[in-house]
Amino acid sequence: MKSTISTLIFFFVCISFSLAQQYERAWVKQYQDNAADNHYFNDMAVDKYGNTYTAGYESNWSNYQLTHFYIKKVSSDGKPLWKRYFNNLKDSMDEAIAIATDADGFIYVTGTRKDSATYGTTVSDIVTMKYDSSGKRIWLNRFHDAAYVLASPKDISISPGGAILVTGNETRYASEWGTYINNLLLLKLDKAGKTLWTKKMDNVVGHAGCFDNMNNIIIAGASDPGNLPQTQKPMVLKFKPNGNLAWSNVFNEYNKNGRFYYVQCDLLNNIYINGQTDTIAFYNNPRILTVKYNKAGKQLWSAKEVNSSFTMPFLYGAFTIDAKGNCYVAGTLNYADVNSKRIVTKYAAGGVKKWTDTFNAGFWGPDRPTGIVVDEQQNVIVTGTCYYQNNRHVAITNGYKKNGAPFFTDVYELNSIENTVTLGIQKDPADNLYVAGRSTIVIKYGIAPAAASAIASGLVTGNLTLFPNPARDVLNIGFTAPAGASAYRVIITDVSGNRALIKQLGKPEGKANLTINIEHLKPGIYTMVITDGVTSFTRKFIKEE
């Protein structure tokens, strides 16, 4: 097992290191929208062409409870293509909650709808819609149970055959108990939008669902016999394609409560599930929990993160697996603490912890992950929000090599006034990355070209190498200089712009190699500038402890 601690002070740059697939920020778009005062994202999806879809709701300050469902499409080059409401009349209270795309480029979104006349009551329906790539609605499926029942989706999944699973819950008043109770609600639709079956289970709540490669359905949630969060236990359920329950398994620890939030299956139909547990009495020892089950429901292994670790989809946690069954966990340490930190862990398919990184942006404020993806080289990229200077939040995306070494960091600040809060991260088949955030922001990261590190003109030409990076004692610099170059110097500055080192050099001819001692530098991010006073080239590096 490898464990590292990363405490870095960030500058607004994108840093890419060698020996890993490198990323650079391709574009950032904030989409001004005057249709409402407030726009909120609940989910995002990316199709195989790199188009980004965001789903949520908008509202006005004059009646903030009157929310309106919308989805928006942005092209792979950052152009807004279309926006759709549940209906253009805006005569109901509705909200898009989850969105997904299929291999053919169709878009599926699910959410809730209430009539405006009754939005103050506990009556709501689940609405699920299919759109084509041009934004035309293909069909609408509306689930309505009964009066005084609040039905709400949590997740939407698409099977390889085109079936749609909506995982949700119902809340209703039980007069015999004198309180509100919850139950699991599953809807399976065919590709034409017809309801194939509906499944309800008392004493269970659902948070996420997926299909295995036999079209069985796996649900992550919690057992809820007391209808109280304090008594919930993490629970996984498997349903056959016809909706019959195959098995269920409760992760039942003494004096612990908890719930599962994320679930995925591998090619062998093993199940990987992630969530959180805590003590029942005092809620004083939360820990992120990851469990692997085989297709028959047998627990193969379980693992927990350190004490005071938290996860919650789109807020302060994320989970995914790769094609080999390696598991990647992102969460938050000391969530309630003003200086909470981000934790990222990799587990092998057999449950062995490969590495853990505890990440702190270095300012007195929370660092919380909201999304995680793994690219084809098994690099791990995590996005989230960190508290930055001047009392605001910024978006921060960073990457790890397969062995856990950091190799990429980007911090994006919308402006000096507004907070930048990320929703999640997705990738397309070409490994381009897309981050969506509130204030209607989408950021794209592309794979940097092999020649991105070349210095195109001026003092230095050809490929520049800077290694090792991160560096501890010495920094090696190699480049090719044109004939007749002027005398030059190397300037290294810290993140505040203070000069940490100046080295005056002679006139290079052809290939030049330089070794600089950096033992005296404090750990952090530095800027190196090679200049002859007329032209210059700038590069970033990390000084390790």
Q: Does an H or E element contain 368, and which?
A: strand 367-374
Please check whether residue 172 lies inside any domain of the structure.
Answer: no
Same domain, 491 and 346: no
CA gap 354, 346 in Å, rounded: 5
User: Alpha carbon of 491 to those of 55, 107, 500, 545: distances in Å?
Assistant: 46, 51, 8, 21
Confirm whether 39 is domain-assigned: no
The distance in angstroms from the start CA to the end CA of the chain is: 20
Quote the DSSP letter at residue 296.
Answer: T
Kindly report the three-state secondary structure assignment for every residue of 31-85.
CCCCCCCEEEEEEEEECCCCCEEEEEEEEECCEEEEEEEEEEEECCCCCEEEEEE
Domain boundary among 418, 450, 482: 450
Burial 23-61 (b: 16+ CB within 10 A, else e): bbbbebbebeeeebeebbbbbbbbbeebbbbbbbbbbee
Please state, rounded to an integer, the average pLDDT across all residues of the chain.
Answer: 83
Range of the domain at 512: 464-543
pLDDT of the residue at 533: 57
Q: Let me know: does 126 contact 118? Beta carbons within 8 Å.
A: no
**Do residue 499 and residue 399 come from a single domain?**
no
Query: What are the angstrom distances between the C-alpha of 172 and each of 96, 294, 417, 432?
Result: 21, 34, 42, 43
Distant-in-sequence, close-in-space partners of 367: CB < 8 Å, separation ≥ 6? 332, 340, 341, 342, 359, 360, 361, 384, 385, 386, 387, 396
Q: What is the pLDDT of residues 128-185, one digit of tens each?
A: 999 999 999 999 999 988 767 889 999 999 998 999 999 999 988 777 766 778 899 9
> What's the rounded Cα separation, in Å, for the pair 453 and 205?
51
- Distance CA(313)–CA(158), nearest Å, equals 19
136 & 61 share domain: yes
Where does a domain end: 407, 425, 450? Answer: 450
Q: Which of 191-195, 242-246, 493-497 has the lowest mean pLDDT?
A: 493-497
What's residue 460's pLDDT? 40
d(CA 72, CA 215): 30
Residues paired with 278 in a beta bridge: 257
Model confidence at 189, pLDDT cuts 50, 70, 90, reads: very high
**pLDDT at residue 420, rounded to an integer:** 82
Left if phi > 0, otherwise alpha if psi is -120 to 50, otherwise beta: which for 363?
Answer: beta
Q: How confident is the model at residue 508 (pLDDT cuts 50, 70, 90)?
A: low
430 and 322 assigned to the same domain:
yes
Q: Is the same domain home to 399 and 509?
A: no
pLDDT at position 252 is: 94
365 and 397 assigned to the same domain: yes
Side chain identity, residue 195:
T
More confident residue, 500 or 298: 298
What would the mean pLDDT of 341-356 be, rounded to a whole number?
A: 96
What are the residues whose beta carbons fall under 8 Å from the beta carbon of 361, sequence distance 6 or more?
A: 8, 9, 10, 367, 386, 387, 388, 396, 411
Judged against a pLDDT cut of 60, whether residue 436 lies above it is answered with yes
In a domain, residue 14? The reply is no
For residues 501-530, average pLDDT: 75
| Res 132: pLDDT | 97
Residue 220 lies in a domain: no
Calculate mean pLDDT across residues 366-395.
87
pLDDT of residue 392: 77
C-alpha to C-alpha distances, 34 to 79, 156, 249, 413, nearest whole angstrom? 17, 29, 48, 22
Residue 6 pLDDT level (bands cut at 50, 70, 90):
very low
**Does residue 326 lie in a domain region?**
yes
Give the highest mean pLDDT range of 114-128, 211-225, 385-399, 449-463: 211-225
**75 assigned to some structural domain:** yes
Regarding whether 331 and 198 lie in a shared domain, the answer is no
What is the CB neighbour count within 10 angstroms for residue 70? Answer: 26
pLDDT for residue 20: 56
Instruction: Provide the CATH number for the domain around residue 517.
Output: 2.60.40.1930
Residues 366 and 474 in one domain: no
pLDDT at 375: 93
Domain shared by 90 and 195, yes or no:
yes
Task: Look at residue 487 in the predicted model and tell me its pLDDT.
Answer: 67
Looking at the structure, tell me whether residues 121 and 146 fall in a common domain. Answer: yes
Please say if the pLDDT value at position 11 is more than 50: no
Question: Which among 31, 43, 91, 84 has a CA at the least distance from the CA of 67?
Answer: 91
Q: Which of 70-74, 195-199, 346-350 has the lowest mean pLDDT?
A: 70-74
**With 60 as the cut, is the pLDDT of residue 332 above it?**
yes
* Range picked from 294-298, 314-318, 332-336 for highest mean pLDDT: 294-298
Share of the chain above pLDDT 90, in %: 48
Over residues 50-79, the pLDDT tens digits come to 999 999 888 777 766 778 889 999 999 999
Residues of the chain above pLDDT 70, percent: 80
Residue 289 domain flag = no
When divided into structural domains, the chain yields a total of 3
Residue 132 lies in a domain: yes
Is residue 377 pLDDT above 80, yes or no?
yes
User: How much is the average pLDDT of 204-233?
Assistant: 93
Query: Are 441 and 476 contained in the same domain?
Result: no
225-245 average pLDDT score: 92
Q: In terms of pTM, does the model score above 0.95?
A: no
Q: What is the pLDDT of residue 120?
A: 53
pLDDT in tens, 79-129: 999 999 887 666 678 889 999 999 999 999 999 987 655 555 556 889 999
**Same domain? 396 vs 327:** yes
Assess whether pLDDT exceeds 70 at residue 382. yes
Q: How many whole angstroms from its chain centre is CA 465?
A: 32
